[in-house]
Amino acid sequence: MDYHIKDKSLAEQGRLRIEWAGREMPVMKLVRQRFAKEKPLKGIRIAGCLHITTETGNLALALKDGGANLVLCASNPLSTQDDAAAALVEYGLPTFAIKGEDNQTYYKHINSALAHKPQLTVDDGADLVSTAHKKKTKLLPDIIGGTEETTTGVIRLRNMARDGKLKYPVIAVNDAKTKHFFDNRYGTGQSTIDGITRATNILWAGKRVVVSGYGWCGRGIARRAQGMGSWVIVVEVDPISALEAAMDGYQVMPLIEAAKVGDIFITTTGDINAIDKAHFAKMKDGAIMANSGHFNVEINIPALEKMAKSKRQMRPFVDEYTLADKRRLYLLGEGRLINLAAAEGHPASVMDMSFANQALCLEHLVKNRGKLKPDVYPVPEEIDNEVGRLKLKAMNISIDSLTKEQKKYLDSWEEGT
Ligand SMILES: NC(=O)c1ccc[n+]([C@@H]2O[C@H](COP(=O)([O-])OP(=O)(O)OC[C@H]3O[C@@H](n4cnc5c(N)ncnc54)[C@H](O)[C@@H]3O)[C@@H](O)[C@H]2O)c1
C-alpha cells in the first residue's frame, strides 16, 4: 500500500485519539453502523482531501465500513495531525499528509490521491476538484460526483459551474444548516480562540480584538472573544452583516480605524488581502494577527515580508516581523487557518454533524448515479433534517411537534384577525 506520512510509530496514539473523538460523534456512529450493514459505497473509489484530524478519522472509518475504497490527502499543509495520519495508514487507508509539508509536497499528495482514480471526491477547499479539472481531465468522465466541506470551496465550485467548467455534480455540504450554523459558528468560534491561545498564551480579558468578516465563522469568533472578556470590533464590507454586528453589540468601523487600536486581528472573510499594507502601517507595536479563513491569502503576507526589516520565530506558530520604525507585528501560523495550525481544529461534537452530512451525501450521490448533471447542489433537505434530529436525540433533547390543527393553520391563508 502506497502512503506518505511523518511517522508510522505514532499510530497507537492516533488510534486512541480517533476513538476519543468518536465518543463525541454519536450521529457518525449511527451512520457507520448502518453503513457497515448495508455497504452503500461497496467498491466505490473515493479520494478525500480533508484536514487529517481525529474527526476525519471517524468519517474515514465509516466510509471504509460502508465498503468504500478510500484514499486520503491533506487539504492544508499545516492542518495534519501526524498521529491520526499514522493510525489511518494502520487501518489500511492510503494516506498522504504530513504536518508542515511544503506546497510542492501538498500538491504531490493531491496527485497521489487522484492517482487512485476516484469515482467520488470529498473536498475541503476544492483543491482536489480544481486539480482534477486542470491537470487530470482524463479522470473526469468516471467521477460520479463530489462533496465540498467549506465556504471557500463552495464559492470556487459555483464559479466553476457559472463558467461552464465544472464537469461533475458536487454537493455543497457547507451549506447544510446542520453544517454551517454549527461547525462554522461554534466550531470555528471555539477552536480559533483555542489556536491563538495555544500559540501565544495571551490573556483575552481586556484585549481589543478585531474580527474581520462577520459571516458564520466571524460571528462565532466574536461571541467567544467577547465571552473571554475582550472588547470586540467588527470589520465588514457587507452592510447587512455590519448592521447585525452592530446590533449584536460590537463596535463596527473600517479596518483602517480599527488597525490603530486592535491588539489581536482575526480574519475570517474568505477574501484576499483583508488585512493589507496600509493596515500594517497603522498597527500598534505588538499587534497580533491570525487567520481562520480557508486560505493563507487573507493577510497580505508578501507585503508584510517586504515591509519587515527582520523576522524571528518567537515560539512555534508565532513569527515576529520588525518594521523600519521598530514596531513589531506578530503573525500566527504563517497566516494559515490558526485553529488547525496551532490547535486541533473543530471539536468532534460539531464535526459529528458536518461529517454525517458528508457520508450521507456520498451515499446519495451513489444512489443517484447518472441522474445529476454537472452543477453545485444543496444537501437534500431530508439529510439535513435527519442529521439535526439524530443530533438532538443523541443530546437527549426532545422537542414538540405540530398538532393537526397547527399544521392546517400554517398551511392555510384564510384565517386572519
Ligand atoms: N478555520 C476553519 O476551520 C473554518 C471552518 C469553516 C469555514 N472556514 C473558512 O472561513 C472563511 C469564512 O467562512 P464563513 O462561512 O464565515 O463565510 P461567510 O460568507 O458566512 O462570511 C464571510 C464574511 O466576510 C465578509 N467579507 C468579505 N470580504 C471582506 C473584507 N475584505 N473585509 C471584511 N469583511 C469581508 C463578507 O461580507 C461575509 O460577511 C471561508 O474561507 C471558509 O472556507 C474556516
Please work out whether the CB of residue 354 comes within 6 Å of at least one atom of ligand 1: no
* CA 51 – CA 149 distance, rounded (Å): 10
> Can you tell me the mean pLDDT for 46-56?
98
**Pairing label, strands 251-252, 208-212:** unpaired
Cell of 73: 490527502
Q: What is the pLDDT of residues 327-366, one digit of tens each?
A: 999 999 999 999 999 999 999 999 999 999 999 999 999 9
CA angle 20, 24, 30 (to 5 degrees): 110
Q: Where are the beta strands (DSSP E) in 185-324?
A: 208-212, 231-235, 251-252, 264-267, 288-291, 308-315, 318-323
* CA 353 – CA 330 distance, rounded (Å): 34
Please work out whether the CB of residue 294 comes within 6 Å of at least one atom of ligand 1: yes
Helix, strand, coil in percent for the chain, rounding step 5: 50, 15, 35
Nearest Cα to Cα of residue 297 among 152, 194, 176: 152
What does the pLDDT read at residue 336? 96
Q: For all residues of the chain together, what is the average pLDDT?
A: 98
Nearest Cα to Cα of residue 46 among 93, 104, 97, 89: 93
State the pTM of this model: 0.96
Query: Ligand 1: distance of its center to the CA of 391 in Å?
Result: 25
Centroid of chain to Cα 32: 22
Judge contact between 178 and 384, C-beta under 8 A.
Answer: yes
Please work out whether the CB of residue 215 comes within 6 Å of at least one atom of ligand 1: yes
Question: Whose Cα sits closest to atom 5 in ligand 1?
Answer: 184
**Amino acid code (one letter) for 322:** T
Judge contact between 41 and 66, C-beta under 8 A.
Answer: yes
Query: Ligand 1: distance of its center to the CA of 294 in Å?
Result: 8
* CA 99 – CA 77 distance, rounded (Å): 6
Q: What is the pLDDT of residues 246-293, one digit of tens each?
A: 999 999 999 999 999 999 999 999 999 999 999 999 999 999 999 999
Tell me which of 81, 158, 184 to substitute to probe ligand 1's pocket, judged by most ligand atoms within 8 Å of the beta carbon: 184
Q: What is the pLDDT of residues 73-89, one digit of tens each?
A: 999 999 999 999 999 99
Question: Whose Cα sits closest to atom 41 in ligand 1?
Answer: 270
What does the pLDDT read at residue 415? 87
Q: What is the pLDDT of residues 158-213, one digit of tens each?
A: 999 999 999 999 999 999 999 999 999 999 999 999 999 999 999 999 999 999 99
- Confidence tier at 417 by pLDDT (50, 70, 90): confident
